[in-house]
Amino acid sequence: MKEELKLFILPNCPYCLEALDFINTLKSEEAKYKDIEINIIDEQKNAKLAAKYDYYYVPSFYLGQTKLHEGAATKDKVAAVFHKSLSL
């Protein structure tokens, strides 16, 4: 069974909003990324779930229990997360 890709965010975080824009851009530019499903988790609304993961900064990407990225993202870093999620 394929691991779930999770993205922990805060709704007013400018870095999170930027990461979401990168996600949408990459999905529209690259057909191979179009069908990647991401469980976007608001850490304020889901504090109990967020507490189970070891991160300090948002946005934070996890594939299953494995952290793929934490903190401010670039388009290339989000692409690397997508690449890792497809290759595992």
Instruction: Output the domain CATH number for residue 13.
Output: 3.40.30.10
Per-residue confidence band for 56, with pLDDT thresholds at 50, 70 and 90: very high
Looking at per-residue pLDDT, the higher value among 13 and 88 belongs to: 13
The pLDDT score that the predictor gives to residue 28 is: 97
Domain that holds residue 47: 5-87
User: What total of structural domains would you count in the chain?
Assistant: 1
Residue 33 has pLDDT above 70, yes or no: yes
pLDDT > 90: what percent of the chain? 94
The phi and psi torsions of 55 (rounded to 5 degrees) equal -145, 160
Burial letters 27-54, b for 16+ CB under 10 A, else e: beeeeebeeeebeebebeeeeeebeeee
The whole model's pTM is what? 0.94
Per-residue confidence band for 87, with pLDDT thresholds at 50, 70 and 90: confident
